[in-house]
């Protein structure tokens, strides 16, 4: 009996090789830590100086004999001594290191040198904590790792002052990621601005340092994600890619450095810009998590790994295995002109389309008739809503939809009761002007009283009303980040404490109101990162809802983040940029994430309702595959006139292909595109959204082999045309 079980275990383990497993072990021989994260292995060890040194990060290793003890780099003349030529795993600034390090401190006596030596370690399941300490003082740094079966590692650090003097931290990074030394790397990152977020930029890494960052108090429109591919050049579906993202919604920085000695390193964590974090004896500072992975399946493989990881480990548990609802949002339809009757009419029309969640946006509170007043006064405007929110909520719920509400809690208009009562609650430097943006100031959320006030207001709102969704907005960045109420040396703690308090409010609200879902928004995509995504179900991707512009925004978004979290609305045309695209086209673009509708339905014709109802119903049949499946980006909008994306469900039974043509040169057909992620031996039934768009010669049943080796051929005519095809696996 026992032998049979052992045999079975052997067979099973050879059928399911290393991929699904995680594990961490210490090899006493080479003094190395081996971290297995599914298909990836990461190794670092202790060198002869008893310092942490990087050894390996790549495909899963299957034998420990490959791992040699870490040996420090050579001195290079008198100019670059060994500490600068060694791939340090978590270096502090000291001992002659001239490159970007992870920790920098100043002691009370002005001393700034710090050299970290290994002390001890502890392996707890999938977590490894390595304790290091300065060679002289009791300044401790715990370097923490966690492995995930999706091929991802999470790292952060904890800096503790165990001396009897205060110290000041000037740089606190979460991780240094060392790549195999060499030249010819490229870095890909997501640049952006308001209404033009997550734009892919790819450039060569040269000796020197590339910095991407936010100095704005929140994540900002430049996104804290990177991907590096090697001299062998990755493509969408092949080649080696090292990639990562920070989980922090405040000032962050990621540097990509190539040293003159061909070491290539990515360092990220709190932005050292305007950073100063004093620690009294026994106090500590924890850095945010920095998640990273490796693949040899190209940029597409890298994003699929991150998507899987996020679905399983980052997004709130409540969202797992539950499709995101189709929502309606009132903003573009009614802006600040909301009232019970108007919203009720819109809600009824939205419900008739199959919408499941009705969200009332800005304008419902205080004196909020425009963007010049009212922010901060979170009581229902009695003129617009004489029955409180209850009248509207009952009407919405009566249609079978859930109700959601917009808030912007971190902000205040100077023309508001809140500001008149508490002018000191806004961030400011004493005696200096307060820069307004969109006529608003930022509340100093680092203050305890402000935090408690905001928590109280939102808690009351949720307790008194049947609200199941809030859209949490933030429409400007921090300027004059003063905190005059605390000692001058502590004032810059604001950058960290602000974000921690926002997180705390969300966490407390979620604990007290477990049914409530949240969308993170900062004028669109200004607060999208793995820190906020562990607290919210979805994000508002961009205020730019033009379908064509969205193609590039969405392509960039999905490099790092799952389509499930990507809220995408269909809105009216002409869009703000003056462009008009057909309604079906707008649906086809918005359906590639979590679908929303933001049109003024009072302006729709009967045929618009017919088309939208059909699209919503079609979307509901395939949304699981779109939201939780594997995404293959087949043709990029950056490279030509087409944008094709394919989603394959986790069980492989369904696949959805979106084919979008931005413009057509007269007579030029859309290309035949090879599909991916199917089973060669399986047969698939093709269910086109529009029969006329499947090329005649095409069968309605095709093998995986044909679809992946010959491809799918759709007929697209004219500018702004598109279609979608569903493949159902038959055997």
CA distances (Å), origin 644, targets 117, 592, 713? 51, 11, 11
How far is Cα of residue 21 from the mean position of the Cα atoms in its chain? 25
**Binding-site residue total for ligand DGJ (CB under 6 A)?**
11
The label of the residue with tokens 């009720």 reads: 344
Q: How far is the CB of 221 from ligand DGJ (least distance, A)?
A: 12
Q: What phi and psi, each to the nearest 5 degrees, are found at residue 357? A: -140, 125
The three-class DSSP label of residue 198 is: strand
Residues 6+ apart with CB under 8 A from 246: 174, 224, 225, 252, 254, 268, 269, 288, 289, 290, 291, 529, 530, 531
- Of 362 and 529, which CB lies nearer to ligand DGJ in the complex structure? 362
Q: How far is the CB of 470 from ligand DGJ (least distance, A)?
A: 12
Per CB under 6 A, the list member of 340, 362, 377, 628 interacting with ligand DGJ is: 362
Q: How far is the CB of 653 from ligand DGJ (least distance, A)?
A: 36
Instruction: Mark residues 552-591: x for contact with ligand DGJ by CB under 6 A, - for none.
Output: ----------------------------------------
- Of 250 and 523, which CB lies nearer to ligand DGJ in the complex structure? 523
Question: Is residue 475 a contact residue for ligand DGJ (CB under 6 A)?
Answer: yes
- Of 575 and 721, which CB lies nearer to ligand DGJ in the complex structure? 575
Q: Select the span of 30-38, 112-120, 520-528, 576-584 touching ligand DGJ (CB under 6 A).
A: 520-528
Beta-strand relationship, 517-520 and 469-472: parallel
- Of 396 and 659, which CB lies nearer to ligand DGJ in the complex structure? 396
Q: How far is the CB of 524 from ligand DGJ (least distance, A)?
A: 5
Under 8 Å between Cβ of 648 and 622? no
Radius of gyration for the chain, computed over Cα atoms and rounded to the nearest angstrom? 27
Question: Is residue 521 a contact residue for ligand DGJ (CB under 6 A)?
Answer: yes
The three-class DSSP label of residue 551 is: helix
Token pair of 591 as six digits? 């359906």
Task: Count the neighbouring beta carbons within 10 Å of the beta carbon of residue 730.
Answer: 11
Question: Is residue 100 a contact residue for ligand DGJ (CB under 6 A)?
Answer: no
Strand residues in 28-126 grouped as ranges (E): 32-37, 40-46, 52-59, 103-107, 116-124
The label of the residue with tokens 């969405």 reads: 554
Per CB under 6 A, the list member of 38, 272, 523, 596 interacting with ligand DGJ is: 523
Q: Select the span of 137-145, 499-507, 519-527, 660-668 touching ligand DGJ (CB under 6 A).
A: 519-527
DSSP character string of 7-39: HHHHHHHHHS-GGG-EEEEEETTTTEEEEEETT
- HSE-CB at 651 with a 13 A cutoff on CA atoms is 7
Cα–Cα distance, 140 to 387 (Å, whole number)? 58
Give the helix/strand (H/E) hosting 587: helix 583-590
479-508: b (≥16 Cβ within 10 Å) or e: bebbbeeeeeeebbbbbbbbbbbbbebbee
Residues in 403-432 at the binding interface with ligand DGJ, rule: CB under 6 A: 406
- Of 270 and 540, which CB lies nearer to ligand DGJ in the complex structure? 540
Question: Is residue 364 a contact residue for ligand DGJ (CB under 6 A)?
Answer: no
Give the helix/strand (H/E) hosting 277: strand 277-279
Question: Is residue 44 a contact residue for ligand DGJ (CB under 6 A)?
Answer: no
Q: How far is the CB of 521 from ligand DGJ (least distance, A)?
A: 5
Q: Partners of 171 in the beta sheet?
A: 104
- Of 346 and 446, which CB lies nearer to ligand DGJ in the complex structure? 346
Q: Select the span of 46-54, 108-116, 296-304, 516-524 touching ligand DGJ (CB under 6 A).
A: 516-524
Under 8 Å between Cβ of 201 and 191? yes
- Of 458 and 678, which CB lies nearer to ligand DGJ in the complex structure? 458
Q: How far is the CB of 617 from ligand DGJ (least distance, A)?
A: 26
- Of 333 and 450, which CB lies nearer to ligand DGJ in the complex structure? 333
- Catalytic site includes residue 543: yes
Token pair of 450 as six digits? 């402000």
Question: Is residue 365 a contact residue for ligand DGJ (CB under 6 A)?
Answer: no
Q: How far is the CB of 247 from ligand DGJ (least distance, A)?
A: 22
Residue nearest to ligand DGJ (CB): 362
Question: Is residue 331 a contact residue for ligand DGJ (CB under 6 A)?
Answer: yes
Per CB under 6 A, the list member of 404, 524, 563, 593 interacting with ligand DGJ is: 524
- Of 91 and 598, which CB lies nearer to ligand DGJ in the complex structure? 598
DSSP character string of 352-391: HHT--EEEE-S-SBTT-SSTTS-TT--SB-TTT-TTTTHH
Question: Is residue 473 a contact residue for ligand DGJ (CB under 6 A)?
Answer: yes
Q: How far is the CB of 379 from ligand DGJ (least distance, A)?
A: 18
Cα–Cα distance, 334 to 728 (Å, whole number)? 40
Number of H helices, E strands in the chain: 13, 36
Cα–Cα distance, 35 to 677 (Å, whole number)? 28
* Active-site residue identified among 134, 229, 377, 543: 543
Token pair of 599 as six digits? 């049109």
Q: How far is the CB of 372 from ligand DGJ (least distance, A)?
A: 12
Question: Is residue 540 a contact residue for ligand DGJ (CB under 6 A)?
Answer: yes
Q: What phi and psi, each to the nearest 5 degrees, are found at residue 100? A: -70, 125
Instruction: Mark residues 623-662: x for contact with ligand DGJ by CB under 6 A, - for none.
Output: ----------------------------------------
Cα–Cα distance, 726 to 656 (Å, whole number)? 4
* Active-site residue identified among 473, 529, 546, 549: 473
- Of 439 and 698, which CB lies nearer to ligand DGJ in the complex structure? 439
Q: How far is the CB of 117 from ligand DGJ (least distance, A)?
A: 49
Q: How far is the CB of 362 from ligand DGJ (least distance, A)?
A: 4
- Of 38 and 374, which CB lies nearer to ligand DGJ in the complex structure? 374
> Is the alpha carbon torsion for 289, 295, 301, 304 positive or negative?
negative
Q: Which residues bind ligand DGJ (CB under 6 A)?
A: 331, 361-362, 406, 473, 475, 521, 523-524, 540, 543
**Catalytic (active-site) positions:** 473, 543
């Amino acid at each position: 009996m026992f032998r049979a079980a052992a045999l079975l275990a052997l067979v099973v383990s050879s059928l399911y090789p290393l991929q699904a497993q995680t594990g961490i072990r210490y090899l006493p021989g080479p003094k190395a830590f081996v971290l297995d994260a599914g298909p990836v292995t990461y190794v670092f060890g202790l060198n002869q100086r008893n310092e942490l040194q990087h050894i390996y990060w790549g495909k899963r290793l299957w034998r420990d004999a490959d791992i040699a003890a870490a040996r420090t780099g050579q001195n290079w003349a008198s100019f670059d001594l060994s500490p600068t030529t060694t791939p340090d795993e978590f270096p502090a600034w000291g001992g002659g290191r001239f490159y970007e390090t992870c920790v920098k401190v100043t002691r009370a006596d002005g001393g700034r040198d710090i050299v970290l030596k290994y002390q001890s370690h502890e392996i707890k399941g999938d977590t490894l904590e390595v304790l290091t300490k300065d060679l002289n003082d009791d300044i401790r740094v715990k370097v923490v790792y966690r492995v995930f079966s999706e091929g991802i590692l999470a790292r952060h650090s904890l800096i503790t002052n165990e001396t009897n003097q205060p110290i000041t931290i000037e740089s606190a990074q979460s991780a240094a990621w060392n790549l195999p030394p060499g030249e010819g790397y490229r870095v890909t990152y997501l640049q952006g601005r308001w209404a033009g977020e997550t734009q892919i930029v790819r450039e060569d890494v040269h000796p020197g340092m590339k910095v991407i960052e936010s100095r704005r108090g929140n994540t900002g429109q430049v996104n804290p994600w990177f991907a590096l591919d090697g001299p062998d050049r990755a493509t969408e579906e092949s080649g080696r890619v090292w990639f990562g993202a920070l989980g922090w919604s405040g000032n962050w920085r990621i540097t990509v450095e190539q040293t003159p000695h061909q070491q290539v390193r990515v360092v990220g964590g709190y932005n050292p810009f305007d950073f100063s974090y004093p620690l009294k004896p026994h106090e500590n500072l924890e850095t945010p998590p920095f998640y990273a992975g490796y693949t040899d399946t190209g940029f597409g493989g890298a994003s699929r790994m991150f998507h899987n990881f996020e679905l399983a480990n980052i997004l709130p548990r409540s969202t797992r295995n539950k499709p995101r609802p189709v929502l309606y949002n009132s903003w573009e339809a009614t802006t600040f002109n909301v009232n019970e009757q108007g919203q009720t009419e819109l809600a009824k029309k939205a419900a008739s389309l199959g919408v499941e969640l009705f969200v009332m946006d800005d304008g419902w509170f205080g004196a909020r008739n425009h963007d010049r007043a009212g922010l901060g006064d979170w009581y229902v405007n009695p003129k617009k809503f004489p029955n409180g929110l209850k009248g509207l909520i009952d009407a919405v719920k009566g249609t079978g939809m859930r109700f959601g509400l917009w808030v912007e809690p971190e902000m205040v208009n100077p023309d508001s009761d809140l500001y008149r009562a508490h002018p000191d609650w806004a961030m400011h430097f004493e005696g200096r002007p307060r820069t307004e943006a969109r006529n608003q100031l930022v509340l100093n959320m680092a203050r305890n009283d402000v935090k408690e006030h905001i928590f109280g207001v939102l808690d009351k709102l949720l307790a008194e009303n049947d609200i199941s969704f809030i859209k949490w907005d933030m429409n400007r960045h921090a300027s004059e980040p003063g905190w005059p109420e605390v000692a001058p040396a502590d004032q810059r703690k604001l950058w960290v404490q602000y974000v921690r308090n926002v997180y705390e409010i969300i966490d407390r609200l979620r604990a007290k109101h477990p049914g409530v879902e949240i969308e993170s928004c900062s004028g669109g995509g200004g607060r999208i990162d793995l820190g906020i995504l562990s607290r919210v179900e979805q994000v508002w991707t961009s205020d730019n809802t033009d379908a064509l512009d969205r193609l590039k925004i969405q392509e960039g978004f999905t490099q790092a983040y799952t389509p499930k979290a990507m809220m995408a609305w269909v809105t009216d045309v002409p869009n703000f940029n003056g462009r008009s695209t057909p309604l079906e086209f707008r649906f086809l673009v918005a359906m590639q994430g979590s679908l929303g509708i933001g049109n003024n339905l009072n302006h729709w014709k009967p045929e618009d309702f017919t088309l939208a109802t059909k699209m919503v119903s079609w979307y509901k049949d395939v949304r699981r595959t779109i939201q939780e499946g594997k995404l293959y980006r087949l043709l990029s909008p950056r490279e030509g006139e087409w944008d094709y994306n394919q989603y394959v469900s986790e069980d492989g039974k369904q696949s959805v292909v979106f084919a979008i043509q931005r413009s057509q040169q007269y007579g030029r057909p859309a290309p035949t595109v090879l599909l991916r992620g199917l089973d060669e031996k399986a047969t698939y039934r093709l269910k086109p959204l529009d029969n006329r768009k499947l090329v005649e010669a095409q069968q309605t049943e095709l093998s995986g082999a044909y679809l992946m080796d010959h491809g799918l051929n759709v007929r697209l005519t004219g500018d702004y045309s598109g279609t979608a095809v569903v493949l159902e696996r038959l055997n």
